[in-house]
Amino acid sequence: MAANPKPIVGPVPVTEPYHVYHAEAYILKGELEQPIKQHIEPFGRVVLENTRRESLVTQSVGETNIEGLISFKSGHTRVAGAHVKQKVDIFGQDHAGWVTLSTAVLEGYNVEDIVTADRVVAQLSTQHPLTDDPKQPIGHVPRVNFIGTRIENLRIGGYPVEVELDLAFCGPRPDSNRSYLQDGGFLDRVHRQLDGVLDTGDLPESLEEKYGAQIAYIDDLKKRAKDSRNEEGANGGSNGYPKLRCSLVKKIKPQVEIPGVRTFGNAIYIRDFGTVYLAELEVGVNSGHSEFRHRKGDATSEPGDSNYFTLNMLDIRLGCPATGSSSGATVSGNGQTSP
C-alpha cells in the first residue's frame, strides 16, 4: 500500500502579483508660536495605508479661520487606489498596472492679508506597470504624474505673481527598475536646478549653505549609483534610505516690482513677514517592509522597496509679527509591489 503523502510544510507560494497602496493628502496644517501658541492639526486629512483593496476616500472642509492669521474659504482632498487590468490609449500604449492618486485643493487661501491665492491644487499619481518579467511581474519603481497641479492668482501684498511649474520635472520612469535616486537624468535635473539658484546674485548665506549641501549629497548619490558593487547602499542598506528635495517651480515672475520682496528659486522672501516655498517635492525610497498582514495561505515575502513622492505646494515660515510655520495643499503617494 502506498505511503501517505507528506504534508506541505510552510506557506503556499503566491502565484499572482499584488500591490499595497499608500497615499495621503491634507489641506492645511502648521504650528503657530507667536503671538499665540497653537498646533494646527491637518485639515481634511485622508489616507490609504497598507491596503491591497481598491479604495476611494474623500473629505471636504468648509470656511476656516485660524486666529485671524491663516484662513481659507474651502478645500477638499481625495486618495484613490485602483488596479487597471487593461487600458490601451490611442497610441497603442498599454497602461495596465496599479495606480494611486492623491489630491489636495485649497481655495480662497489667505495668510495675514499678505499672501493670497484663489486656488491651489496639488495632484500626484503613481503607476506601477505590469512587466514581461515572470520573476518580477510588477515594476517596483512607478511612473509619476503631476497633471492638474497649479497655483491660481497668487498675490503678494495684493500684487500678482505668476508661477510657472514644470510638471514633467521627474522625467520618464527610470530604466532597469532603478529608483529615481539612482537615475542619472533625474539627479542631473535636480543638480542644475540648485546650480541655477546658487547663480542668483546676493543669495542669503543660509540658502547658499543649504543648496551647497544638497549638491554635495547629489554628487554622493551619483557616485553610489554608478558603483554597481554598492547597489545595496544606493537603495538603502546600511547607509539608510535616501531622500532628496527639489521643486516643480520653473520660474516665479512678479508682474511688478514689489517692495521688500525677493525670489530665489522656488522661495519668495517677504520682508517683515517671512518666506514662502512653493511646490516643494521630496523624493525618497520606502523600505520594502510592510505592516500588511498576509491572508492565510499567502507567502511571507514582503513587498519590495519603492520610490515615494511628497508634494507640498505652500510651505510658509512666518517671521514677524507672527512666527511659526504652515504647509498647505500637500499630497504623498507611492505604493509597493510583490513579487
**Poorest-pLDDT segment among 31-40, 120-129, 198-207, 317-326:** 198-207
Please list, in sequence order, all residues whose beta carbon lies within 8 angstroms of the beta carbon of residue 220, skipping any fewer than 6 positions away: none
Question: Which pLDDT value is given to residue 226?
Answer: 80
Query: pLDDT band at 333, cuts 50/70/90?
Result: very high
- Distance, CA of 183 to CA of 24 (rounded, Å): 25
Question: Which pLDDT value is given to residue 153?
Answer: 98
Question: Which pLDDT value is given to residue 206?
Answer: 87
For the cut 80, the answer to whether the pLDDT of residue 184 exceeds it is yes
Query: pLDDT band at 285, cuts 50/70/90?
Result: confident
CA–CA distance from 45 to each of 24, 60, 79 (Å)?
Answer: 7, 10, 10
Share of the chain above pLDDT 70, in %: 86
Give the predicted TM-score (pTM) of the model: 0.88
- Distance, CA of 267 to CA of 263 (rounded, Å): 6
Query: pLDDT band at 4, cuts 50/70/90?
Result: very low
| Average pLDDT of the residues in 244-268 | 95
- Distance, CA of 137 to CA of 98 (rounded, Å): 12
CA–CA distance from 251 to each of 163, 304, 307, 310 (Å)?
Answer: 6, 36, 26, 20
| Average pLDDT of the residues in 186-205 | 91
What are the pLDDT digits (tens) for 74-121? Answer: 999 999 999 988 878 888 887 888 999 999 999 999 999 999 999 999
Question: Which pLDDT value is given to residue 2?
Answer: 44
Query: pLDDT band at 233, cuts 50/70/90?
Result: very low
Q: Which of 163, 207, 215, 213 is nearest to 189 (CA)?
A: 215
| Average pLDDT of the residues in 49-76 | 95
Query: pLDDT band at 287, cuts 50/70/90?
Result: low
